[in-house]
Amino acid sequence: MWIEIGGQGANMTLLQYENISIFKLSTGEVLGFHNENLEVARLSPSVWDAAQSSKNEEEPVSEEILELKVWSESVNANVKRAVVNQKVKTLTINTTQLCNLKCTYCAAGGDGTYGAPTVKIDLKKGLPQLEWLMSRCLPGERFQINFLGGEPLLYPDVIREVAEGAAELAQQFQVALRFAVVTNGTLLFMPKVLDLLKEFRMAVTVSVDGPPKVQDHFRPKKTPSNTNGGSSADLERGLIELGKIKNRLPSIGLAAVFHRDYTQVLETYRYFLKWEFDFYEFNYSHTDYDIEGSRSFSKELEKVAQFADALGGEEELRKVRGFDSILNRFDEQVKLENFCGSGKSLLSMDAKGDLYACPWDINDKSMKLEGSPALSKVHEKYTNHLSFYESPQIDKLACNRCWAKFVCGGGCNYVHKAGSKEPAEKVDPIFCERTQSLIVTMVMYYEKYRRVSNETH
């Protein structure tokens, strides 16, 4: 929702006034954000000055502050909570823990195995788990299976076997089944792989870090000597073939991971545009806690937003998933209390058929959901373990004082658990800073797009 208070004006640095966050941009423009209602307001520059002055209790209360107070105390009845029910509707499956690349920054032991390779999934154990999960769905409900690795397309026959088994279960339980796969893209040129994707209409996300020079440096091929050659040639060959069948697939996206050694997001984005796929993702490595690298990444994301806006306005900017999700939150006015459905609507299965709450927990056997269920019985230890995830993420991480909590949803549980420097804080401050920076950038563009829309109509 777009509203105006304090007259005309505009934009951002952060001041907090009750439920209102006030941002002053380097241009001198001022914006306001209602932390509870998820409303964005364009403010007059005098509001910033009044907010600064209001710190002095001897100063009389200005008209601008009174107006902020009214806005802060307003309750928008249209604002909803994004309720995540404790019911698994998405399962990620590590088809294999083997990979044909050896990425320099890989968090899974450098080869996807976490040091304990499992060639491919144990279907004898995995399919009964899947059957139990799907049996809990009501007729007509949607259930999604995401195939991960390692590199899942090393074993397309195994994916086919799982998909066929899942399709039979979906028919039995009258469930609407969807498939997705995350791949490094180097095997996409294989006819067997392309046929698999088309037959089961799989949404495809390809992990690509940048143009060939970047790809070859950070994502080399895995060979017996762990040396020899980059992966960009096979990747681009695969992307060309993928493009030929994009009308047969639900969606195709490119996803890049950045870290202290490479933060050139704009360079990667411009390379992504060459392929004309449906969406793009830019993530900072969840195991990299370098503050300067993180800040460089955030500045680059601002450049990407500026470039996308100049290229095609809101439509082009929304092709970046991180941007799109925040803009949707503002448009729909839905308060997010969980960063993701980990342990609630989402579970993960490793190649041994064991269940975990989060895909990143698979390297930590202490996080395995003990007493994983079979169709006939839900074991008490399993349900007790999942009960840990029932409370909202913003409550578990004590996010109540953060202005961005209902847009962020508390942040990644894995990142905060692994990255906390002070256990009592329960959060990784670098992640929080990076996320807040992204939200502020989207506040600016949301105000721009909705102001133009209102002035036009």
Q: What is the pLDDT of residues 55-97, one digit of tens each?
A: 666 566 788 888 999 999 999 999 999 888 788 899 999 998 8
Q: What is the pLDDT of residue 225?
A: 45
Does a structural domain hold residue 406?
no
pLDDT of residue 331: 95
State whether 107 and 50 are in the same domain: no
User: Does pTM top 0.85 for this prediction?
Assistant: yes
Do the domain assignments include residue 228?
yes
Average pLDDT estimate for 172-192: 97
Mean of the pLDDT values across residues 428-449? 93
How confident is the prediction for the chain on average, in pLDDT? 86
Examine the fold and report which residue of 278, 312, 336 is the final residue of a domain before the chain moves on: 336
Is the model's pLDDT at 198 over the cut of 90?
yes
Q: Is 168 inside a domain boundary?
A: yes
Give residue 413's pLDDT: 83
pLDDT at residue 52 greater than cutoff 60 = yes
Better-scored residue on pLDDT, 115 or 301: 301
Q: How many domains does the chain fold into? A: 2
**Cβ–Cβ < 8 Å for 451, 4:** no
Supply the range of the domain harboring residue 309. 81-336
Q: What is the pLDDT of residue 217?
A: 93
Retrieve residue 117's tokens.
């390779």
Q: What mean pLDDT comes out for the span 190-201? A: 98
Give the pLDDT score at 144: 97
Based on the domain organization, do 120 and 252 belong to the same domain?
Answer: yes
pLDDT band at 367 (very low <50, low <70, confident <90, very high): confident
| 365 in a structural domain | no
Question: How many whole angstroms separate alpha carbon 99 and alpha carbon 150?
Answer: 4
Tell me: do 165 and 191 sit in the same domain. Answer: yes
Is 95 found in the same domain as 213? Answer: yes
Instruction: Say yes or no: 52 and 100 in one domain.
Output: no
- Is residue 101 domain-resident? yes
164 and 49 housed in the same domain: no
Average pLDDT of the residues in 106-113: 57
CATH of the domain at 197: 3.20.20.70
One domain for residues 39 and 90: no
**26 falls in which pLDDT band (50, 70, 90)?**
confident
Kindly state whether residues 65 and 88 are assigned to the same domain.
no
Q: Which of 31, 48, 78 is the last residue of a domain?
A: 78
Q: Residue 3 has what pLDDT?
A: 67
Q: List the beta strands (DSSP E) in 35-79.
A: 39-43
Q: Give the model confidence (pLDDT) of 247-268 as tens digits.
A: 999 999 999 999 999 999 999 9
At 308-333, the pLDDT tens digits run 999 999 999 999 999 999 999 999 99
pLDDT of 396 > 50? The answer is yes
Q: Are residues 94 and 68 in the same domain?
A: no
Q: pLDDT confidence of 9, banded at 50, 70, 90? A: very low
Domain match, 46 and 188 both: no
Specify whether the backbone of 192 is left (phi greater than 0), alpha (psi in -120 to 50) or beta: alpha
Q: Is residue 120 part of a domain?
A: yes
The predicted structure's pLDDT at residue 72: 93
Q: What is the pLDDT of residue 108?
A: 58
Best CA proximity match to 79, nearest among 394, 406, 445: 406
- Mapping DSSP onto H, E and C, the string for 163-205 reads HHHHHHHHHHHCCEEEEEEEECCCCCCCHHHHHHHHHCCEEEE
**Interval 118-133: pLDDT, tens:** 578 888 888 888 998 8
Same domain assignment for residues 167 and 294: yes
Under the banding of pLDDT at 50, 70 and 90, the label for residue 242 is very high
Residue 343 lies in a domain: no
pLDDT digits (tens, 9 = 90+) for 327-350: 999 999 999 999 999 888 999 998
Q: Cβ(152)–Cβ(120) under 8 Å?
A: no
Whole-angstrom distance, CA of residue 110 vs CA of residue 284: 17
Specify the residue for token string 């403010």: 43
Instruction: Please report the pLDDT score of residue 249 as a whole number.
Output: 98
Percent of the chain predicted with pLDDT > 70: 85
Residue of higher predicted confidence among 438 and 420: 438
Question: Which has the minimum average pLDDT: 97-101, 176-180, 414-418?
Answer: 414-418
Residues 229 and 307 in one domain: yes
> Could you say which of 48, 78, 108 is where a domain stops?
78
